[in-house]
Amino acid sequence: MNVKVAFKVTVKKGDTVSAGPHQHDFLELVYFLKGTGKTTIGKDTYPVRANSFCLIPPHETHSQVSETAITSICLCIGNSGLESSPGVWVDTEGEVRYYLEELMGELSGKRSAYLKITEGLLITTVGLIKRVIKENIPQDRKQAIVSKALYIIESKSGNLSIDDIAGQLFVSKDYLRHLFTQYTGLSPVKAIINARIEHAKSLLRNSELSIANIAEMCGFENQYYFSRLFKKVAGCTPSVFRRK
């Protein structure tokens, strides 16, 4: 895991001080050491308090209002794999806080070998955050990921890859496969193929395009492969389907 800190800062905010809408190029982690307030990420607003933290994906508009004096640690992190879990989470055991404070101390002190030490602390922190998320992630958020993936596939008529979908949803391919199987009984590849076949059916019904052209337009590498998969899914060849 090649996790990197893009920038870090400890922020102290007084009562009712706001951070207006803004974005970052990297995922931002904000850990609240004390105080209370509200954080808005996109269209969602969350209450925040001591020992809670928020994860804000790259290029997501967000803002914050403090109700009582807030002290927080802010890190912008690259290559963490946390982009798929936006929102506010609670560090019940305080483990994330401990390693974050150790990390900030190393970055500020810059003693010998601090870069190696901070790398290990950062990897540990990211791992603990993933544990918090895994133990607390609600089912409806998992279902939302699958629903969004299905929408993306259908809107593109299946003309995209698993990498494309995972990238748009900020999840790993393996996690996407796992959720798909859990909630649909299908693999993402199967869902993509089904969407391509449905698009092909529409073109066969409503156009005079050749089967070879339709195969190419629907993302199949050749007409033979297209015909074989079409028959497997639709129960007949493209030619027979067109004549029906």
The number of angstroms, rounded, from the C-alpha of 9 to the middle of its chain's C-alpha atoms is 24
Banded model confidence at residue 213, pLDDT cuts 50, 70, 90: very high
Are residue 80 and residue 131 in the same domain, yes or no? Answer: yes
Mean pLDDT of 81-85: 85
Q: Flag whether pLDDT at 220 surpasses 80.
A: yes
How far is residue 80's CA from residue 56's CA, in Å, rounded to a whole number?
Answer: 12
Count of domains forming the chain: 2
Residues 18 and 125 in one domain: yes
Q: Are residues 34 and 91 in the same domain?
A: yes
Query: Do residues 100 and 194 both lie within one domain?
Result: no
Long-range contacts of 207-212 (CB under 8 A, 24+ apart): 211/238, 211/239, 211/242
Give the pLDDT mean for 212-223.
Answer: 92
Which among 84, 106, 136 is the end of a domain?
A: 136
Six token digits for residue 218: 């629907």
* Identity of the amino acid at 84: S
0.85 surpassed by pTM: no
Q: Are residues 181 and 242 in the same domain?
A: yes
Predicted confidence band of residue 96 (pLDDT cuts 50, 70, 90): very high
Statement to judge: residues 108 and 127 lie in one domain? yes
More confident residue, 241 or 18: 241
Q: What is the pLDDT of residue 16?
A: 41
pLDDT of residue 190: 92
Alpha-carbon distance 195 to 97, whole Å?
A: 45
Q: Please check whether residues 9 and 89 belong to one and the same domain.
A: yes
pLDDT value, residue 52: 92
Residue where one domain finishes, among candidates 96, 120, 136? 136
Does 189 lie in the same domain as 105?
Answer: no
**What CATH number corresponds to the domain at position 53?**
2.60.120.10
Q: Does residue 199 register a pLDDT over 50?
A: yes
pLDDT at 232: 92
Residues 132-163: tens digit of each pLDDT: 988 776 666 777 888 889 999 988 888 899 98
Amino acid 55: pLDDT: 93
117 & 156 share domain:
no
Amino acid at 215: A
Domain boundary among 89, 107, 136: 136
- Structural domain boundaries, residue 43: 4-136
> Domain of 155: which CATH number?
1.10.10.60
